[in-house]
Chains A and B, each alone.
Chain A
Amino acid sequence: MLGEYVPVLITLVVAMGLAATFILLTTILGPKRYLRVKMEPFECGVEQLVSPRRRFSVKFYLVAMLFILFDIEVVFLYPWAVRFRELGWYGFGAMMIFLGVVFITLAYEWRKGALDWD
């Protein structure tokens, strides 16, 4: 059973090796000349107006939260989808009850305007 994870391991090793090689090559081969003008932060040729480390709006957080909850909902669809034929109408009914409740939540947040950006 663990043998099935060998491709995962190979992908992992290749990905880490590639990233490490690129970082190593740029540090060794890349020229490093720190000029004062070059190091100055700018955006589209304009000098910096405000600090880039500003606070993020709480709106992003709400979107991330809703994403995770619906992500978890989708996770439950996988085991059902794999055994869809064996579970038949019984599984379909059980899943529809589950999805029904989750759909109520979607309707709720839609009506509440949680999906609107403004």
Chain B
Amino acid sequence: MQQLFYVFGSLAVASGLLMVLQRNPITAAMNLVVTMFSLAALFVLLSAHFIAVIQLLVYAGAIMVLFIFVIMLLNLQDDELRPRGRNFIHLVSVAVVLFAMAQLWQLLSRTPAIPLAPVDEAYGTTGEMGMLLFSDYLFPFEIVSILILAAIVGAVVLAKRRLD
């Protein structure tokens, strides 16, 4: 279990790094798919089975299509993808990230390990999700429909204005 966590965790980090370091946008997007897949595996290890499947379906599937469309929409040429010179802002941002990681490491090393409570067999399955969704989380669930409404209105307004 723990070994699997390290396998998929390092896979997620490695593919995430590869994605950032890649100059070709499509290659970077393909690396992002590997990251999404590793995250889905990590969700499985957390007994979040339904979320893991949705992670694959929505993120590795649908959201990736959106990313590819944006890449094709922008259609960057090779000379636009060439690296620009490093400046002061780059150095500062790298320093800030390193500092934040050091802080996080300090915090985590001081946190005592919490023994994992065993979860029910059905925990995280679609049925259990359904029961929770329609009892404790009914209001947030209904709010999601408003969120979808807002997102669609936004998308239509923005894209349609470009078309007219």
Check A113 against B160 for contact (C-beta < 8 Å). Answer: yes
Check B66 against A68 for contact (C-beta < 8 Å). Answer: yes
Check B163 against A59 for contact (C-beta < 8 Å). Answer: yes
9-residue interface stretch from B13-21, B79-87, B97-105, B142-150: B142-150
Check A2 against B73 for contact (C-beta < 8 Å). Answer: no
Q: How many residues of chain B get a CB closer than 8 Å to chain A's CBs? A: 45
Distance A73 CA – B58 CA, assembled complex (angstroms): 11
Q: What is the 8 Å Cβ interface bit string for chain B, positions 133-152, against chain A (1 contact, 0 not)?
A: 11000100110111011011
9-residue interface stretch from A28-36, A38-46, A103-111: A103-111
Distance A98 CA – B133 CA, assembled complex (angstroms): 12
> Which residues from A are CB-within-8-Å of B30?
none
Asked whether any CB of chain B lies closer than 8 Å to the CB of A60, the reply is yes
Asked whether any CB of chain A lies closer than 8 Å to the CB of B131, the reply is yes
User: From DSSP, what is the main secondary structure of chain B's interface residues?
Assistant: helix
Tell which of B73, B133, B162 touches A80, judged by Cβ atoms closer than 8 Å.
B133
Residues in B lying within 8 Å of A, measured CB to CB: 1, 4, 44-45, 47, 50, 54, 57-58, 62-63, 65-66, 69-70, 72-75, 77, 121, 126-127, 129-131, 133-134, 138, 141-142, 144-146, 148-149, 151-153, 155-156, 159-160, 162-163
Asked whether any CB of chain B lies closer than 8 Å to the CB of A66, the reply is yes
Check A58 against B144 for contact (C-beta < 8 Å). Answer: no
18 contacts between A and B (CB under 8 A): A56-B72, A58-B163, A61-B70, A61-B73, A65-B66, A65-B152, A68-B63, A68-B65, A72-B58, A72-B148, A73-B148, A75-B54, A78-B50, A78-B126, A83-B130, A87-B131, A97-B145, A114-B160
Beyond the given A61-B73, A65-B152, could you list 19 further A-B residue pairs with CB under 8 A, ordered by the A residue number?
A: A2-B45, A55-B72, A58-B163, A67-B62, A67-B65, A69-B152, A76-B133, A79-B126, A79-B127, A80-B130, A82-B126, A83-B130, A86-B131, A94-B141, A98-B145, A101-B142, A102-B145, A109-B152, A113-B160
Give the contact-size bracket for chain A.
35 or more
Distance A108 CA – B22 CA, assembled complex (angstroms): 40
> Which residues from A are CB-within-8-Å of B162?
58
Asked whether any CB of chain B lies closer than 8 Å to the CB of A24, the reply is no
Asked whether any CB of chain B lies closer than 8 Å to the CB of A6, the reply is no
Query: How far is the CB of A109 from the nearest CB of chain B, in Å?
Result: 5
Counting from the closest, the 6 A-B pairs by CB-CB distance are A79-B130, A101-B145, A83-B130, A62-B159, A56-B72, A79-B129
